Amino acid sequence: LDEKGEETWSAEGRYAWGCQGLPNGHRVVASYSGRYVAEYNAEGREIWKKTGLPSAPFSVERLANGNTLVTCSDSQKVVEIAPDKKVVWEVEISGRPMDAKRLENGNTLVALQTFGKVVEVDRSGKVVWEIGDQKGVIAASRLENGNTLVCRQASNMVVEMNRAGEIVWSKGELRNPYDAQRLPNGNTLIVDYNGVQELNPKGEVVWQRSGNGASRVHRY
């Protein structure tokens, strides 16, 4: 979508639960029902695809090293896939991982839905930091200030929490929030059952697109 909310690009995703726009103009998509992740070029043509995942993917992230990070929720795994489609790293994490983000320190931030936790794991899979009591967590991301942005689907909230687990910002009264992204301008982009909306730090809506059935969001 462009800044007016009008569609400028599309590709078949087969229940796409994950998406990311890439600097080269390509897009990478995780297909839940298709059980694959794929990369599409600017014309919507598929140029790379990884099938045979441990289970259906819920999120996808193209890493700076060119690899692709994928959460395979029902198999309790997060996997890293090289361009040649080989799995070069994987970790098994109980709690149904729904979302994973690679951090600057090399660790991985993971949202665990059934445990209601957000955990940070090192390369060996050891939990080095966590926050609990995140009922129905479905997405999480680490912010530049060191805080963590969390989508609590079950409680219809998006919260920003500091390292001690204290809420420093929140937006409630959402409808099953699926994903959130803190933008460079300080605003927060949220997708829930009603659509996509951009909120300023005061929680005021400054942009929105209603009723598009989105499940993940990524501005780039």
Tens digits of per-residue pLDDT, 104-150? 999 999 999 999 999 999 999 999 999 999 999 999 999 999 999 99
Report yes or no on whether pTM surpasses 0.85.
yes
| pLDDT tens per residue across span 54-78 | 999 999 999 999 999 999 999 999 9
Cβ within 8 Å of residue 67, ≥6 positions away = 80, 81, 82, 83, 88
pLDDT averaged over every residue in the chain:
94
Q: Does the pLDDT of residue 10 top 90, yes or no?
A: no
Residue pair 113/95 in contact (Cβ under 8 Å)? The answer is yes
CA distance 54 to 195: 30
The residue type at 47: I
Summarize the confidence of residues 42-65 as an average pLDDT.
96
C-alpha–C-alpha distance, residues 131 and 62, integer Å: 25
Between CA 22 and CA 158 the distance in angstroms is: 25
Burial of residue 168, with CB atoms counted within 10 A of its CB: 0-12 exposed, 13-18 middle, 19 or more buried? exposed
Checking if the pLDDT of 213 tops 80, the result is no
